[in-house]
Amino acid sequence: MLLRPQRPRVLTLFGIFALTVGSFYLCRFIGGLFPYDSSESLGGRVALGATLVLGALVPPAALNFFLEFLSFSPRAARYGRRMALFSVFLGLAVGATPLGDYFAARVAVSIWVLLALSFSISLVVARMRRSESRIDRARLMYLAIGAVASIFFSALDFLSTFNVPFPPLGPIVATLYLFFLSQTLLRLRLMDLHELLGKIASQTFLAVILALIFVVLTVWVEGNTGLFVFNTIVAAFVMLILSEPLRDKVEERVVAIFFRERFNFLQAVRALRSRTAGILDVGELSARMLDGLNETRRVTHASIYLLAEDRPGFRLLDSRGPQPALFLDAGAVRALLNRTEKAQLLEAVERRTHELRQQLHESKRGRDEIKRLNDVKSAMQLMKAGITVPLVGNDRVIGFLNLWDERVPEAFASDEIALILDLSELLATVVENSKLYDRMRERDRLAALGEMSAGLAHEIRNPLGAIKGAAQCLDPRRLPGEDGEFLEVIVEEVNRLNGVVTAFLDYARPLKQNFGPTDVNEVVTRTVRLIQNDVPAHLTLKTELAEGLAKVEGDAEQLKQVLINLVQNGIQALGTTQGELTVKTFKPERFGDFRATDSAVEIQVIDSGPGIPADQQLNIFVPFFTTKSKGTGLGLAICQRIIKSHGGTITVQSRVGEGTAFIIRLPTLPAEPLPAETPLPEVTPMPGSLSPPARELPESTETDGKGDRRPRRDRKKRRTG
């Protein structure tokens, strides 16, 4: 403990406590090498005096540690220091007694040690009764029981003084208790302490087995020293060879005997991982995984959330047990996204919150930590999760795997959590591979569609041209009555069908893109200026542009095509009613990504129209889906394809009667460092001049959406053109 870097005070006090106990037993061992009646032995008297002094120092060391460990007030710590000073004087006084009074000295020190240690145990029991946390009460109960056992077996060591044969178990039990106490400081979870008890039991069985091997190979050698040394070496090799496989088998059997439910859960999860290793479909994998976990009877709630594509947040994919929240927005899970742990435990969050609230003087940092922990707890309660594991793909969170056993506060040990982490990695890999497969399938589908559309357009347009030409040659104005109207219908429908073919070709053919650094605000400004004359008088078209937006890697002309399509859809949705259209840009908060350097910009096209029903929102980006009487159903599909080719997303948010908002999110380019300014050369002024001649500045330029630079003096001419 003393060698740990940046150790808190409680670890330092524990190190002193353990060092005092170890030194006491060391001096007691050395003193045992000298006969009790050897009054002339200086070594015996020194060892005896050191034993008595260190024995008297054990209680104050224990008391100071427990006062710090149990978070008692500084006033109580002063009493501990006074007790330490008193114990030093008591030990020195008893150690200076004549050797003939050795028995009385041991009795006096023993009574003091037992009383003082009993007082320390009473502090543990008192804190256990006042604790509001069930987990802390169980942990303190284990510590109190272990302390009582250590004191009891240490007291039994004095039976040898009265010539009562009894093995000296006090040092062994005290050492085990100190080890258990150290693990309590390092392992805050109660299930880890259960696991530690199992490891202690397994190591005990392993030690007994290895000792039997050594005894079998050496006990029958009576007086042959050479054979004894040879058999000892053989026994050492045998133990080295058998130690690792024996340890695994013994640990497995100990867990199977003493922790049956945990053993069955481990076996079931390992089998589940093997069964689901070859599944590539996300839905099938999630169903099998949740069913397998639910069948273990160690999980009462299980759910899987995946990153939503239509809006910032996570959507419930599947669940078992009571249904959790169907959707978690960015605000609800922001605290979880800021965490870097591989798994988040509800009981750990509650324990840390309880510890911070117990502090007498909360700093601003402590209050912020409590607020963040409360946000984490709220998110986990919405997901009904006792343990939540983020699914990480491409350095960003793409979902969560949540498990909970509401019957116990700490349901999973560290080895179980390790297997759950393996399942989450498998699930995250399948999700990422599924997205990659969908992109490849979409690419192949569009390639086949493009090849088919070229021939199909040729076969359709030629008859359409003949039909339209024949109808126009008949001249509808010269035909009486309904005959002329029928010809006009023929021409109108031929034009509409030709538009469908053109839109289909635009959707199917490969995009010809000219990417470059693009200013989103400039694209919006140029688009609005282009279409504002086509906006009806009863509608208002506004722009809200955020300042300081980073540039994106994109094709300005294609982004302009997307905005024109969205604005025209808004105009058609508003119809003849009074309304408002708004095109706005801003920088959203970073969401669902661990990489702090990544950012994005958003373009929103908002209308105050009638809105889109919820059952239609899932299909509006599907090709040829339309609710318009004369629509082709390809406009939004083309928009989505263009935005995806830019590495962005386009989503819709709409409520009936409240309007519709199309949200475009595009990744930005990394900020480039500003170039250092080159100092101007010093110019010697001409005779008679007041200042050096001004250096001719380069002609002012600006960047268009495609990254081309043009003189500013041509700007007005180009706009009017």
Q: Pick 226 or 714 by higher pLDDT.
A: 226
Task: Taking residues 571-595, report their average pLDDT.
Answer: 74
Tally Cβ neighbours within 10 Å of residue 39: 12
Question: Where would I find the beta strands (DSSP E) of 103-214?
Answer: none
381-392: per-residue pLDDT in tens? Answer: 888 888 888 888
Task: Taking residues 372-396, report their average pLDDT.
Answer: 85
Give the per-residue pLDDT at 18. Answer: 93
Give the closest residue to 64 by CA, choosing from 108, 12, 109: 12
pLDDT class for 538, splitting at 50, 70, 90? confident
Q: Pick 591 or 170 by higher pLDDT.
A: 170
Give the per-residue pLDDT at 670. Answer: 74
Task: Taking residues 476-504, report their average pLDDT.
Answer: 72
CA distance 706 to 721: 18
Task: Taking residues 684-703, report their average pLDDT.
Answer: 37
Give every CB contact of residue 125 below 8 A, 6+ residues apart in sequence.
140, 144
Residue appearing with tokens 């300014």: 677
Specify the range with the lowest mean pLDDT, choosing from 84-93, 191-200, 425-434: 191-200
Q: Pick 366 or 454 by higher pLDDT.
A: 366
Task: Taking residues 388-412, report their average pLDDT.
Answer: 81
Counts of helices then strands in the chain (DSSP H, E): 20, 15
Task: Taking residues 250-258, report their average pLDDT.
Answer: 73
Query: For residue 468, what is the enclosing H or E element?
Result: helix 414-473
107-157: per-residue pLDDT in tens? Answer: 777 777 788 888 888 888 888 888 766 667 777 888 888 888 888 888 888
Beta-bridged to residue 540, according to DSSP, are 580
Give me the sign of the Cα torsion angle 626, 631, 637, 643.
negative
Give every CB contact of residue 573 below 8 A, 6+ residues apart in sequence.
607, 609, 610, 660
Give the closest residue to 455 by CA, choosing from 511, 493, 513, 504: 504
pLDDT class for 510, splitting at 50, 70, 90? low
Whether the predicted pLDDT of 304 surpasses 80 = yes
Whether the predicted pLDDT of 205 surpasses 80 = no
Beta-bridged to residue 579, according to DSSP, are 539
The amino acid present at 153, given as its one-letter code, is F
Give the closest residue to 426 by CA, choosing from 542, 607, 274: 274
CA distance 80 to 119: 11
The amino acid present at 481, given as its one-letter code, is G
The burial class, CB within 10 Å (0-12 / 13-18 / 19+), for 48 is buried
The secondary structure of 470-482, three-state, reads: HHHHCCHHHCCCH
Give the per-residue pLDDT at 685. Answer: 41
Q: Pick 343 or 679 by higher pLDDT.
A: 343
53-65: per-residue pLDDT in tens? Answer: 788 888 888 888 8
Beta-bridged to residue 554, according to DSSP, are 516
Task: Taking residues 279-303, report their average pLDDT.
Answer: 85
309-342: per-residue pLDDT in tens? Answer: 766 788 888 888 888 988 888 777 877 876 556 7
C-alpha separations of 363 from 349, 354, 371, 372 in Å:
19, 15, 13, 14
The number of residues making up the chain comes to 721
Whether the predicted pLDDT of 230 surpasses 80 = yes
CA distance 287 to 267: 19
Mean pLDDT over the full length of the chain:
75
Contact 54, 76 (CB under 8 A): no
CA distance 373 to 567: 43
Q: Pick 419 or 73 by higher pLDDT.
A: 419
Question: Where would I find the beta strands (DSSP E) of 83-148?
Answer: none
Give the per-residue pLDDT at 719. Answer: 37
Residue appearing with tokens 């500013």: 712
Whether the predicted pLDDT of 169 surpasses 70 = yes
The burial class, CB within 10 Å (0-12 / 13-18 / 19+), for 357 is exposed
pLDDT class for 699, splitting at 50, 70, 90? very low
Specify the range with the lowest mean pLDDT, choosing from 406-420, 496-510, 683-697: 683-697
CA distance 412 to 262: 8
Task: Taking residues 460-478, report their average pLDDT.
Answer: 73
Give the per-residue pLDDT at 509. Answer: 60
Write the DSSP string, 376-439.
HHHHHHHTT-SEEEEEEETTEEEEEEEEE-TTSS----HHHHHHHHHHHHHHHHHHHHHHHHHH
Q: Pick 663 or 692 by higher pLDDT.
A: 663
Percentage of the chain lying above the pLDDT 90 cut: 3
Most confident of 143-157, 241-255, 425-439, 629-643: 143-157
CA distance 397 to 419: 19
Residue appearing with tokens 């994109």: 554
Contact 369, 353 (CB under 8 A): no
Give the per-residue pLDDT at 303. Answer: 92
Beta-bridged to residue 44, according to DSSP, are none
Contact 610, 660 (CB under 8 A): no
473-489: per-residue pLDDT in tens? Answer: 776 666 666 666 777 77
Give the per-residue pLDDT at 691. Answer: 37
Whether the predicted pLDDT of 360 surpasses 60 = no
Write the DSSP string, 42-96.
HHHHHHHHHHHHHHHHHHHHHHHHHHHHTT--HHHHHHHHHHHHHHHHHHHHHHT
Give the per-residue pLDDT at 702. Answer: 39
Contact 389, 343 (CB under 8 A): yes
633-682: per-residue pLDDT in tens? Answer: 677 888 888 888 888 888 888 888 888 989 898 888 876 554 544 444 44
Give the per-residue pLDDT at 596. Answer: 37
320: left (phi over 0), alpha (psi -120 to 50) or beta: beta
Task: Taking residues 595-602, report their average pLDDT.
Answer: 63
Contact 466, 443 (CB under 8 A): no
The amino acid present at 562, given as its one-letter code, is V
